[in-house]
């Protein structure tokens, strides 16, 4: 899921930006990203779901909300884009969609699992957002966050080929997605701990040696095998990192 959340004081501008970004998910690049990124994020997240009350940060390409709505009996989605909230309210009946910026949402009841998949790389102030959403869950809850990993093999190869100056540089796909940063593991840990989250496990997943664009048309069976193998590899070299946290 990809979103840009700026300071709450600029609400109208932020809502407009979210609506603009929503069109990316229907593009060729957006559908490719779903196939290579969101599908495997969904697989990791589903392994760690806890309890009945689940809250998802953002709709994004819609893959996660569709998958979760099929297995969760009490799913709430907080979505800043009015356009996406309206579209998916009509598409999916068995979940509650709240049209709100993360900073403004105050749930009446706490949730058992909080999911923030590919959100933090977009936000203007990740620690501020993390501090806010921490209040959505209770002491027995789990929070699952996933971000792109700067140490991924394909980024290291990009540096070796001179395509990137350093692994944390934003590439073409990052700019299309509206990313503000690519996370190192140390930065990820620092942001989570600064907001009061306690990391129980770090899970790397998916491996790539080339860009999404270069992987277009690759056999799904091969991609699935890359994902399966990645779960046994050090998180430091995987495409994405998931953190399983408590508060």
Q: Is the whole model's pTM more than 0.85, yes or no?
A: yes
Most confident listed range (33-47, 128-142, 172-186): 128-142
Rounded Cα distance between 127 and 120, Å, is 9
Min mean pLDDT across 115-124, 195-204, 228-237 is at 115-124
> Cα separation of 152 and 121, whole Å?
15
Whole-number pLDDT of residue 209:
94
Residue 212 pLDDT > 90: no
Task: Examine the pLDDT at 188 and tell me if it is beyond 70.
Answer: yes
- Cα 230 to Cα 31: distance, rounded to the nearest angstrom: 22
Task: Give SS3 for 77.
Answer: strand
The pLDDT score that the predictor gives to residue 24 is: 54
CATH code reported for the domain at 8-246: 3.40.50.150
Question: What's the pLDDT at 3?
Answer: 34
Within the chain, where are the H helices? Answer: 11-22, 28-33, 39-47, 63-71, 82-91, 126-133, 153-160, 172-177, 185-194, 220-230
**What is the per-residue DSSP string for 23-66?**
GGGGSHHHHHHIIIIIHHHHHHHHHT--SSEEEEE--TTSHHHH
CA distance linking residue 199 with residue 192, whole number of Å:
8
What per-residue confidence (pLDDT) applies to 64? Answer: 94
- Across the range 195-199, mean pLDDT stands at 98
């Amino acid at each position: 899921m990809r979103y840009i959340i700026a300071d709450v004081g600029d609400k109208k501008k932020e809502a407009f930006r979210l609506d603009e970004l929503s069109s990316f998910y229907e593009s060729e690049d957006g559908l490719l990203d779903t196939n290579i990124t969101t599908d495997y994020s969904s697989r990791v997240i589903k392994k760690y779901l806890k309890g009945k009350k689940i809250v998802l940060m953002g709709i994004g390409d819609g893959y996660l909300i569709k998958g979760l709505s099929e297995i969760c009996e009490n799913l709430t989605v907080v979505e800043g884009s009015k356009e996406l909230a309206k579209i998916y309210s009509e598409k999916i009946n068995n979940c509650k969609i709240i049209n709100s910026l993360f900073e403004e949402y105050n749930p009446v009841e706490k949730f058992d699992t909080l999911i923030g998949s590919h959100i933090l790389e977009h936000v203007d102030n990740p620690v501020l957002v993390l501090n806010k959403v921490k209040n959505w869950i209770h002491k027995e809850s789990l929070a699952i966050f996933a971000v792109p990993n700067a140490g991924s093999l394909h980024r290291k190869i990009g540096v070796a080929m001179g395509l990137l100056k350093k692994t944390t540089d934003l590439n073409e796909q990052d700019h299309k997605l509206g990313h503000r940063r690519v996370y190192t593991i140390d930065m990820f840990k620092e942001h989570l701990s600064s907001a009061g989250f306690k990391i129980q496990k770090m899970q790397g997943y998916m491996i790539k040696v080339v860009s999404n664009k270069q992987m277009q048309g690759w056999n799904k069976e091969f991609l699935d095998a890359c994902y399966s193998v990645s779960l046994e590899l050090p998180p430091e070299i995987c495409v994405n990192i998931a953190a399983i946290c408590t508060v």
